[in-house]
Amino acid sequence: MAQVLMVDDSSTVRKEVCDFLKANGISVVAAVDGRDGLDKLRADPAIKLVVSDVNMPNMDGLTMAEKIRNELKNAAVNVIMLTTENSPAMKERGKAAGVKGWIVKPFNGAAVLPTFKKLVSA
């Protein structure tokens, strides 16, 4: 049972974020794209936070966030984007899909750890 779902098509980013979270006492499961992320979220109701890239093959992160809210009817899980994208239009789409935060890569674990811990304990 994981607290965080890390979704990114880059194995380097997935490993970096997962290793950081595990080292800080947060259980995490990884997914390679939005489709995989939805499957993992369906399978593990203990997930409280989804951290996702935007640009991925098969299903992008924003589409996944929309499906979490509309198809899975899951309003409880927190979704944060971790991406190189910084356009206002994408951020607006994310906000409309219930995305709670937008972090521009590179990942700075120390800066977001208090927020992540708060979101997984809520």
The CATH H-level superfamily of 4-121 is: Response regulator (3.40.50.2300)
For 48-69, write each residue's pLDDT tens digit: 999 999 999 999 999 999 999 9
Ordered by start, the domain boundaries in the chain are 4-121
Average pLDDT, the chain: 95
For 5-35, write each residue's pLDDT tens digit: 999 999 999 999 999 999 999 999 999 999 9
78-115 core/surface letters (b: 16 or more CB in 10 A; e: else): bbbbbbebeeeebeebbeebbbbbbeeeeeeeeebeee
- Judged against a pLDDT cut of 90, whether residue 122 lies above it is answered with no
pTM greater than 0.85:
yes
